[in-house]
Structure 1
Amino acid sequence: MKNALLITVSSNDMKQIRRARYIKFQQCTMPYLASFFPKDWNVLHIDEEEEQIPYEKSFDLVGLTFHTPCSKHAYEIAARFRLRGITVIMGGSHVTLCPEEAEQQADCIFVGEAENTLPVFFTDFEKGKLRKRYESNEAVDMSKIPLLTTEHFHRHDHAAGTMFASRGCPNNCEFCAVSCMYQHKFRMRPPSEVARDFAQFKGKVVVFWDDNICADMAYAKEICKAITPYKKWWTSQASIKAGEDDEFLELAYKSGCRHLFIGFESISQMSLDLAKKEFNQVERYKEIIKNIHNHGISVQAGIVFGFDCDTRDVFDRTLEFLIENGVQNATFNILTPYPGTPLFDRLKSEGRILTEDWTKYNSRTDVVFTPKHMTTQELLEGFNYVNREFYRLPHILKRLNHSHTGLFWTLPLNIIYWWLLKTKRTNL
């Protein structure tokens, strides 16, 4: 029996940032990949958000998945195991976008999706002849992938588990790493398989880790129909198209959807157009939010500050918009040009990238490029200002008074965030 350790990497800095989100969810990458291991492997999954890595134990293989701001920490983990002669493999978005860097830190790396190359890897591992890089240009057949292994979901958070129905996004936003990771290919699992994964979670709340669950609206409706019998609550990320389709919203609510994260990104149409997200039409935002609320579903707005069209008044204008439209929650980010994205390439060609210290690419505490119409300090201060103001008690009451959707849980959640900010425990 061989032993493998799979690690969902989280650096101390990122743990501090994520701790700010009272509701946070376990990533499903490693619980999913665990199902690919042959029967004669014993697999242990460690989520660094909650658990310590057992460096003292012996393993035949260590696998790491991580995002850009955790890359330095991941490389340190890899070095400790490799010094003991343990084989270390790496994958994930940063590895795919920076393969030349990553392959210097591991015995081998997986570029892009690993499903097609894992069988080859295990054959090579048995022979003791690993390749430095495993990469496939063929799209993964989503109808032939295994179900999640739920025993590897062992965090005690606010969801029974996380899963995915689709992969990728058909859009091509300049700042997004997803389209680079999956080369703009959007694919879907069979609804019956999604329903089986959904049903096997024992708790009442499930998170879909899809990048855009409404990318194919007909498919999204089929998913809703397939999971309705299980009477669970669920949430996911979606584009503004979710709020334009009454049939979808009706089916979503009936199937247990009570909350949607909507990537509004900006209230400036010029910023959206520049970022190649022109399908977001700001003039329709108010109508879309109201329509989602009218179907009993609360809204979490995804907002990014720092686009080239943003001036210093963008913070107050955004705050006013969110309050006046009764948005229940919001996630604010500083525009971050992740390596490998068109945004990074453009800003680098313009001489505006300030650092390639990936630990600072966390979208919360650092500005890593030169903004056009404000200083880096003004951008950071504006970001922190909106976080504080959005969760001030008067603004909470005003927002939730506009829409009572999900009030019994959105009000306590907002109060918690107000308290965290008041006691200076977080920047959200």
Structure 2
Amino acid sequence: MKALLLWPIMPNSFWSYQETLDLAGLRSTNPPLGLITVAAMLPTDWEIRLCDRNIRHETDEDWAWCDIVIISAMIIQKEDFRELIQKGVTLGKKVAVGGPFATSVPEFPLEAGAHYLILDEGECTIPMFLEALARGEEKGIFRATEKPDVTQTPIARYDLLDLDAYLAITVQFSRGCPFQCEFCDIINLYGRKPRTKTPEQMLKELQVLYDLGWRRYVFVVDDNFIGNKRNAKIFLQALIPWMEERNYPFILLTEASLNLAEDDELIELMVKAGFTMIFMGIETPDTDSLLGIHKVQNTRQDLIESCHKITRAGLQIMSGFIMGFDNERPQAGKRIQDFIEETGIPQGMLSLLQALQNTAMWTRLKQEQRLLDDLGTIHQGAVMNFVPTRAVEEITEEYIDAFWNIYEPMPYLKRTFYHFMMMNGWRGKTNRPITWHEIRLFAAICWRQGIVRSTRFRFWWQFLAIALNKPRLVYDYLTTCGVGEHFFSYRYQVRSQLQEKLAAIKQAKQQTNNQLMTVS
């Protein structure tokens, strides 16, 4: 078989870092880890071509060459996902789909015409799919009720990637999360019992990247790296000497729950292993809202002190914040903005709440007849897909103001400096080369933030202070300044998209009121 593996276009979003990538001469933040892992599960006698459409588009020759097209997607990629399915069907190709979006909303690819739905986790369903192909079956939906043993997962086909096009390369240590946040779909996809790979398995994967010459960011894409603290510690204890022996070739980042602040040993192990940044779902500083969505792990300790503790240890925090929870009090956006300023968190992923299909929240809102659109999305320019408990116009206007203010260049630079000055300045000694991508980015930052903008004096003063007081943090600090360029630009798009949607909502309400008045 000749298989064409396609990863759809990722629209500009919080995570795309498009402006920053352009400045650095890069094409995409991360490669499609799921798709290249699937590639490793396919028969060895298959011929495989991978096209990440964020790097390059497939050609007419690619389409003519293949026997089957395999497509994976997340919900934000749904438009290109549908078009690729339809194109494959039109060209007479067999189309197989999988990934988190197809698993959560299988009717979407079915309606688009996909022949094979390889759902849930591929370790279980790829063999079912291959057996059906061998039997000559023309269609099929393959699902699994059990969760696979990830210690049997093969190493992803990193050799299929154009490595130099990416900001970070991805690996996975665990799947699943022990918590039960109402709005989250991770426990539906991967379960509440975290399953982990072995330390030996992880070190083999990292060695593959090392041997391929990769020397930049490695993103451990677990939804909660510390979901199984015991196994995370065992892995970190094996990772530390591996990183030391190779002079810390990678800059590690991951996602973890805020209860990391409760475990001093785990924090220290992460820092010594080379982790420099961690994404945390803080969601909201309002305790009542946290209890309402069952995110009790964020209520056990003071949120600000927990963030400061993690930052002081040497880990930069990225955070997720959400507006629109039930019974949310007015000025939620301002409270989130104040929290971000007080903690100094540079990158706060602020979103309007979306009910994702088959989550506990989606089920509840459907029963309450409050859903407006089954397909929620993770996109900063999208309004809520359900009827909130306070006016959607009020929430959206607060959100626009908060997102705009958070990513004003001067406040961003100020809190980035505050955040880094709070950190322990330890970093493992490294001989990683500075590539032309970093040189391009850092030169652009110095020009934009240090000369063109009114931030010029603040930029140079802060840069010198970091260089003198925290010299090992200079790389991380400048990179964070560079990431800010994406947000300085992206906030204009977010404001424009939401103002347009707000105008449509207000117009529709006015028309409804006019009709009611006419009838009365």
Residue 417 of structure 1 deviates from its aligned partner by 5.2
- Larger deviation, residues 255-264 vs 380-389: 380-389
Q: Deviations over 1:240-274 (max 9, x none)?
A: 12222111111111110000001111111111111
Amino acid at match of 2:99: G
Shift of 1:179: 0.8
RMSD: 2.4
Contact 1:17 1:426 (C-alpha < 8 Å) held by counterparts: no
Alignment of 1:243-322 (within 5 A): 243-281=261-299, 283-322=301-340
Alignment of 1:239 with 2:267, yes or no, is: no
Query: Kindly tell me: are residues 261 and 16 of structure 1, through their superposed partners in 2, closer, same or farther at Cα, counting changes over 3 Å?
Result: closer
Report the CA distance shift for 1:339/1:160 in structure 2 as closer, same or farther (over 3 A): closer
Decide whether the 8 Å contact of 1:312 with 1:373 is kept in 2.
Answer: no
CA distance in 2, matches of 1:181, 1:240: 21
Which region of structure 1 is more displaced relative to structure 2, 340-349 or 243-252?
340-349
Cα distance 1:76–1:143, how it changes in 2: closer, same or farther (>3 A)?
Answer: same
Q: How does 1:68-217 map to 2 (within 5 A)?
A: 68-104=75-111, 105-154=113-162, 156=164, 159-201=167-209, 202-204=213-215, 205-217=217-229
Q: 2:51 aligns with which of 18, 43, 46?
A: 46
Q: Map Cα deviations across residues 354-409 of structure 1 (whole Å, 9 max, x no partner).
A: 234x4x62331121334535432333332232222122244234423433237524
Between Structure 1 and Structure 2, how many residues are aligned?
423
Aligned to 1:63: 70
Deviations 1:73-122 (A, max 9, x none): 32221111112221111111222222244334311102211212212322
Q: Normalised by the size of structure 2, how large is the TM-score?
A: 0.76
Aligned position for 1:408: 474
Q: Which amino acid aligns with 1:126?
A: A
1:422–1:255 CA distance, 2 compared to 1 (3 A): closer
Match of 1:335 in 2: 353
Distance 2:484 2:3 in 1: 42
Q: Which has the larger radius of gyration?
A: 2
Residue type of the alignment partner of 1:137 = T
- Structure-2 change in CA distance of 1:251 and 1:157 (3 Å): farther
Normalization by structure 1: what TM-score?
A: 0.91
Decide whether the 8 Å contact of 2:132 with 2:140 is kept in 1: no
User: Which runs of 5 or more residues in structure 1 are unaligned?
Assistant: none
Q: 1:219 to 1:103 in 2, by over 3 A?
A: same
Aligned to 1:349: 367
The separation in 2 between residues aligned to 1:288 and 1:200, in whole angstroms, is 36
2:10 is aligned with 1:3: no
Deviates more, 1:286-295 or 1:205-214: 286-295
Structure 2: which amino acid aligns with 1:209? Answer: V
Rounded Cα–Cα distance in structure 2 between residues aligned with 1:401 and 1:83: 54
The sequence identity of aligned pairs, in percent, is 23
2:378 aligns to what SS in structure 1? Answer: coil
Q: Residue 34 of structure 2: which of 26, 29, 36 is its match?
A: 29
Which residue type is aligned with residue 332 of structure 2?
V
Task: Decide which moves more: 154-163 or 196-205.
Answer: 154-163
CA deviation vs aligned residue, 1:127-156 (integer Å, no higher than 9, x gap):
312552111222212121211111133254
**Segment of structure 1 superposing worse, 409-418 or 114-123:** 409-418
CA distance in 2, matches of 1:97, 1:48: 22
Report the AA paired with residue 474 of structure 2.
Answer: F
Equivalent residues of 2:98, 2:118 under 8 A apart: yes
Q: Which secondary structure state, in structure 2, belongs to the residue aligned with residue 52 of structure 1?
A: coil
The question of whether the paired residues in 1 share the 8 Å contact of 2:30 and 2:168 is answered with no
